Amino acid sequence: MPESAKAWPSDRELVDQILSGSRDHFELLYETYFPRVYRFALKRLKDPGEAEDVAQEVFMTLLTALASYQGQSSLLVWIFGITRNKVNRCFRKPRPQLDPLESGSAMDVAGRDAATDDIVEARRMLGRCEDIIDHDLTALQRRIFHLKHLRQQPIRVIAEALGKSEDAIKANLYRMRRSITDGTPGLESLLRS
């Protein structure tokens, strides 16, 4: 047991102090056990970032769960039970599938001579679209754009929210698209490819 863990007479007293609102006692708990929780998570997850996230989650959970501590085991054992559950959840999360660079599709994209130029051109066009949205559209059109394309709201819902007819929303969407495509030559062909 680390030296600082001996700074409190009993786990129950420490928990009672934290529950009564003592920030100092929670910091003592955190400083004493965080490194151990982190090492435990790191040993199992083999990823420092994920281990850090788990350790932080454990102490966030402690803030709400500490009142349920019964004292039937040591506080450290109880905290490690929470940590074990958090680590196990990480193993149950779906992992993103990454294609190895040797796979055909990744090599096709990476092998194209114009791939870098295409990315640069797409970013340039995206920047131009953002400028048009910010500076050329009216406040109403920007609001409609936000609701339709960022929040993915149906036209009927947008019309009700803004107190406009559905035809007015459709007309504004048409004018916005026209402004964006006219102001960004090559955008339509890029979107089709």
Residue 109 lies inside a defined structural domain of this protein: no
Is the four-CA dihedral 104, 107, 111, 117 of positive or negative sign? positive
pLDDT for the residue 96: 54
Task: Single out the residue in 92, 123, 152 at which a domain terminates.
Answer: 92
pLDDT for the residue 37: 93
Q: Which residues span the domain enclosing 12?
A: 3-92
Question: Mean pLDDT of successive 10-residue segments in the chain (193 residues)?
Answer: 56 90 90 93 88 89 88 90 88 58 47 63 80 83 84 86 87 85 76 60
pLDDT for the residue 35: 93
Task: Single out the residue in 92, 107, 124 at which a domain terminates.
Answer: 92
CATH number at residue 34: 1.10.1740.10
Helices assigned H by DSSP within 104-165: 104-111, 115-135, 139-145, 155-162
Rounded-to-integer distance, Cα 40 and Cα 79, Å: 11
- Do 70 and 26 share a domain, yes or no? yes
Angle between helices 115-135 and 104-111 (to 10 degrees): 80
- Do 54 and 20 share a domain, yes or no? yes
- Do 82 and 157 share a domain, yes or no? no
Rounded-to-integer distance, Cα 151 and Cα 47, Å: 34
pTM score above 0.85: no
